[in-house]
Structure 1
């Protein structure tokens, strides 16, 4: 369930000199400072009609307007949903998530999520924040993520994530032929007009994506992508920013473009690939108990693998012409 929040207020003069986020948390203590920071960063709060940063210093008497939506939390319950567990011990679980499975319950998906599956498999996770899930991937993205099984492990793993100590490597099939790899260093924030989307925007959160070309096709490229930061939809947004959106991306991919001299079967398969062709293929981290660096890999899901086989056959056939 969700709740619409509309706030219009004026900052008291006595709050002059305070940080914006701290002042709002004092004025409206029913919402945490972290929640205010999130709303401010997403551009949902206007101060004198303009967006701001959480650390902005107040002069007093500013007009504040907030239009936001928050999820009203309901108890999460375990549900018998199959899990593909790559590794587990008493401290953590590594899961290979399939396409179509939402990670956390929310307003549009109250149950039948990865959280519900984990709570059924390991009921002790109900005592951990977000059922122990340290990071998440989009509903239609496949691949690896880590779940802490103990609070001590959760603390260590969250610290590693914040310190950018995780190795997270993705395979992404994008439109267009890239000649070489590179790095995208471009801030990401909420799209200024389409609020369901993210975009590269001035004043957004720092976002860095490294990529290199794994394989060329006639009209596409398979990329190995490493995340240095972990912003919402980061790879999808950065690749679109480069002019090479992910194949099948329903949000950032735009309309399907007919390819010249492309066999109809391949054309149809590309057009009917209805999810972003993105797979979290490799995950590395220091084990929260031993400190030893460990890595796991997950093979490409069948739909991406089948599409690559077709693209390879198309490339090889036309290479002799």
Structure 2
């Protein structure tokens, strides 16, 4: 895609570096990309080639003649998308379970990125096809995607500055009667490099949670992220000894309440993924400044799990039933 823009540098930018001034005047491009264009002669001042560090005086003609290179080599694929919100600047999708976000080892295609590129081919011009954050393959729920350079950069900055609210539903093992906060650093596990763990030298990570409903020895939580580390909720819940039901990495053995009927036993034994759903996303629209608060309904598998746990609790003296551990199914 060819890009051609011409404007006058305003007087109030006098004394600024050229790359800094240009980044302010063209906020839909990153400063690093503008620096590359300046070095390549694709940005001129009064028709002259310049350097990124050159000082502007104000009143000069700033011109850009460049080509937007494709950022993604992934191929578009006609994979259905559940779009919760979309306009010319951004879109929010409700990601289903088992859909990987980015192509990678073991998942070269068939991902959310492939679906997005089919939905809007111009997303190939953006890093990561505009995906601002990610969810694990087996976590369902809301993801935001920037559709323009400006929107993508603004959303990434808001995420880094903790201005995007992310709220999850989780069903965890154990009897929790009150909410709390887990403020523990997370980093790569010392022995298992595929896992994350609470480690002293890890990055700061803060997770807030509150009880929605108690089912005896399982609890439905509403969880809010203050930071966004890899597997953060899963690691923090396991750290406080309340792992998420069905978590294949951090969950340990399933736990069955004594006296549970066959249907509940089967669901708890065979729940095929961590019971975690990104239910709400709250953000400031990068163009209008409007606050968007979007929600995704509880997926069927978690809805069924909660209903069965509720039925069990209601039939067992306020949920104070004895609990037994079971072996993982073969």
TM-score w.r.t. length of structure 1: 0.76
Residues of 1 paired with 2:263 and 2:92: CA distance?
37
Contact 2:95 2:140 in 1 (8 A): yes
- Offset of 1:74 from its aligned partner? 8.2
SS of the residue corresponding to residue 170 of structure 2 reads strand
**1:115 and 2:113 are equivalent in the alignment:** yes
Residues of 2 paired with 1:145 and 1:320: CA distance?
37
State which structure, 1 or 2, has the greater radius of gyration over its C-alpha atoms.
2
- Cα displacement string for residues 227-277 of structure 1 (whole angstroms, at most 9, x for unaligned residues): 000000000000000100000000001122343222232111111001000
Residues of 1 paired with 2:295 and 2:73: CA distance?
33
Residues of 2 paired with 1:297 and 1:151: CA distance?
25
Residues of 2 paired with 1:252 and 1:150: CA distance?
37
Matches within 5 A, 1:91-130: 91-130=89-128
User: In the alignment, what sits opposite 1:48?
Assistant: none
Structure 1: unaligned runs, 5 residues or longer: 1-72
SS of the residue corresponding to residue 315 of structure 2 reads helix
**1:318 and 2:316 are equivalent in the alignment:** yes
Residues of 1 paired with 2:118 and 2:198: CA distance?
39
Where do 4+ consecutive residues of structure 1 move more than 4 Å?
Answer: none
TM-score w.r.t. length of structure 2: 0.74
Residues of 2 paired with 1:217 and 1:82: CA distance?
35
Residues of 2 paired with 1:320 and 1:74: CA distance?
54
Matches within 5 A, 1:125-274: 125-274=123-272
Deviating more after overlay: 310-319 vs 145-154 = 310-319
Aligned residues: 249
User: In the alignment, what sits opposite 1:304?
Assistant: 302
Contact 2:73 2:124 in 1 (8 A): no
SS of the residue corresponding to residue 238 of structure 1 reads helix
- Offset of 1:320 from its aligned partner? 7.0
SS of the residue corresponding to residue 225 of structure 1 reads strand
Residues of 2 paired with 1:230 and 1:80: CA distance?
30
User: In the alignment, what sits opposite 1:61?
Assistant: none
Contact 2:172 2:221 in 1 (8 A): yes
User: In the alignment, what sits opposite 1:76?
Assistant: 74
